[in-house]
Structure 1
Amino acid sequence: MGVSVSRSSLRRAFVLLAVPALLVAGCGGEPVDGGSAVGGADPRVELVRPGTLSTCVRLPFEPFEFRDPDSGEIVGFDIDLGGFIAEELGVEQEIVETSFARITSGADLDDGVCDIAISGVTITEERARDVDFGEPYFNSSQALLAGVHEEITGMADLHGRRLGVKEGTTGEAYAVDHNERNGSLVELVRFPDQTELTSAVRSGLVDAVLSDNGPLYGFARVYRDTSVKVQIDTGEQYGFAVRRGNTALLDVANEVLAAMRADGRHVELHRTWLGVTPNQL
């Protein structure tokens, strides 16, 4: 992570857990009864549960969304961004925990599980066929993390070695493409979540991992026996996603992001959760 997890999130949120055909309130949040919208709610936007902006995330992806071990609250860069959008709408934010596949496929948005997904989702042409993306809010690159004493300067140094990747991510796609172009010289080991992925380096299950740069730099700042060896400029950008055709919500979210860039809140999010400004990544 970018800073101590004891730092409070800039915006609080209720938390829900998405399970098949059912939403269960958690972390002290009250169940949503589908009643009328709270006073002051933006009439331009129809929400799946009136009075709340339901935000889908996949945990953990520190420092963008993760559970604070001290408070138990879900906090992070993406959580705060969603909080600012909810504030503009005049409603509360509730966090819906779900799978990354249901976010990127648009399934949870189409099924009315949530209004918006903000979960470190890289904008790609394939994903844009299933969801509508807003303006990019974070510039990302792929990076290689390994033990601090490892001498790795690129993918070629991992030929004949084991590389960890997270399932369903652009990092996995990049590694698969590398193997297709180079005769499958890197042994890929796939992990279901970010915690298992990064922990595999320290436990020796893999020689290195390939993932988004933000979380890897945060991990290396905490675990000094690891380090980011190289960034791979893939030109990736994170975007929040809504159900296709939900232009009313997308317009408001884009307006909020533009205002955050103008008044400094966007830079402050980077400082708070990554310890750097956007141009320092």
Structure 2
Amino acid sequence: MIIGSLRRSVVATAALALTGLLALSACGDDGGDTGGTKAAGGYKPVKAGKLTVCTNLPYPPFQFDQGGKTVGFDVDMIDLAAKKLGLTQEITSLDFNLIKSGAALNSRKCDVAAAGMTITDERKQVLNFSRPYFPEYLALLVKKGSGLKTLDDVKAKNLKLGVQADTTSLDMAKEKGFTPKEFKDSGKQLLALQSGQVDAVLQDLPVVNDWMKKGDISGKFEVAGEIPTGKQYGFAARKTGSEDLIKAINEAVTESIKNGTWAATYKKWIGSEPKSMPAES
């Protein structure tokens, strides 16, 4: 019985010690940050030496896989900010709702969201946005010869509309009175159109233009209309404690616009001259 008591005492002591170590560890890492390591400009990234970026793949031409590497317009823009901070960009793909809701950023799963994300008042409540970096245009993609020209045409014929979940395309579709079919990413949305699950899709124009570069898409489908929304894309960071990061991103975007890098990057990934420039703020 004495031996049993001693064993229980040793186990209890060890458990308490382990609990204490875990508590100290939790206090020290502040939800996954780098324990005091700061980048240039004073920002403390989630991982030492890395600028961890959340996105929702695939989303060409902003972020997509090319030869086993994630590339695109957003990737090039964030690289400019990462260099200012002396960091290397590291990209992770998440459900878009985790990004736009602020859950991924505010829990420090990543430093910044670069996901072709539209700046909205609702999203500003939970995220700290950069200055605008890309003007938003939507596009309606339909089957060739369908006779469809507008969203009103799709609705009048009681046809099925497909949108990407949690996006401004979904918001616009609902405003027009649709109950659209939602897809987790743009790739699934396109497959649904190809397989006949939906009759038309509403998606960001650059994404649709990228689809149309493929012969099997452009041979069967056409852009019925381009819709300027008057809104802008922004990069986003956690609501508080990200001021130094947003400052670096703003400086990088502004410099790229002034020195011509932004326009060259647009032409590289979008394949045309810019329709318009990003708003100042």
Taking structure 1 as the reference length, the TM-score comes to 0.80
Q: 42-51 or 124-133, which moves further after superposition?
A: 42-51
Partner of 2:17: none
Q: Per the alignment, do residues 112 and 145 of structure 1 end up closer, same or farther by CA in structure 2, a change over 3 Å counting?
A: same
Q: 2:202 matched to 1:207?
A: no
Match of 2:127 among 110, 120, 131: 131
Give, in whole Å, the separation in 2 of the partners of 1:247 and 1:257.
15
Give, in whole Å, the separation in 2 of the partners of 1:216 and 1:142.
9
RMSD: 2.0
How far apart are 1:57 and its partner, in Å?
0.8
SS of aligned partner of 2:223: strand
Partner of 1:198: 190
Match of 1:236 among 231, 240, 265: 231
Contact 1:36 1:51 in 2 (8 A): no
Q: 271-280 or 72-81, which moves further after superposition?
A: 271-280
Give, in whole Å, the separation in 2 of the partners of 1:189 and 1:52.
37
How far apart are 1:35 and its partner, in Å?
7.7
**Larger helix fraction of residues:** 2
How far apart are 1:217 and its partner, in Å?
1.4
Partner of 1:46: 44
Give, in whole Å, the separation in 2 of the partners of 1:210 and 1:82.
27
How far apart are 1:37 and its partner, in Å?
5.0
Q: Per the alignment, do residues 53 and 167 of structure 1 end up closer, same or farther by CA in structure 2, a change over 3 Å counting?
A: same
Q: 50-59 or 219-228, which moves further after superposition?
A: 219-228
Give, in whole Å, the separation in 2 of the partners of 1:150 and 1:187.
21
1:151-166 matches, within 5 Å, as: 151-159=147-155, 160-166=158-164
Partner of 2:76: 80
Give, in whole Å, the separation in 2 of the partners of 1:135 and 1:83.
16
Q: 2:186 matched to 1:188?
A: no
Contact 1:217 1:227 in 2 (8 A): no
Give, in whole Å, the separation in 1 of the partners of 2:84 and 2:224.
40
SS of aligned partner of 1:55: strand
Q: Deviations over 1:89-131 (max 9, x none)?
A: 1111111221211111111111111111111101110001000
Q: Deviations over 1:29-86 (max 9, x none)?
A: xxx9958859xx4042111112111111111111111111xx2111111111111111
Q: Deviations over 1:121-166 (max 9, x none)?
A: 0111000100011111111122100112222221121121111111
Percent identical among aligned pairs is 34
Rg larger in 1 or in 2? 2
SS of aligned partner of 1:168: coil
How far apart are 1:211 and its partner, in Å?
1.2
Q: Which amino acid aligns with 2:176?
A: H
What is the number of equivalent residue pairs in this alignment?
Answer: 240
Partner of 2:90: 94
SS of aligned partner of 2:109: coil
1:96-175 matches, within 5 Å, as: 96-159=92-155, 160-175=158-173
Structure 1 runs of 4+ with >6 Å offset: none
Give, in whole Å, the separation in 2 of the partners of 1:221 and 1:227.
11
Q: Deviations over 1:189-220 (max 9, x none)?
A: 22121011112222221110011111011112
How far apart are 1:265 and its partner, in Å?
0.9
Contact 1:140 1:237 in 2 (8 A): yes
Q: Per the alignment, do residues 203 and 99 of structure 1 end up closer, same or farther by CA in structure 2, a change over 3 Å counting?
A: same
Contact 2:34 2:44 in 1 (8 A): no
Gaps of 5+ in 1: 1-31, 180-185
Q: Which amino acid aligns with 1:50?
A: A
Q: 2:254 matched to 1:258?
A: yes
Q: Which amino acid aligns with 1:161?
A: L
Contact 1:161 1:187 in 2 (8 A): no
Gaps of 5+ in 2: 1-31
Q: Per the alignment, do residues 142 and 221 of structure 1 end up closer, same or farther by CA in structure 2, a change over 3 Å counting?
A: same
Give, in whole Å, the separation in 2 of the partners of 1:110 and 1:260.
28
Give, in whole Å, the separation in 2 of the partners of 1:58 and 1:270.
20
Q: Which amino acid aligns with 1:105?
A: S
Contact 2:34 2:45 in 1 (8 A): no
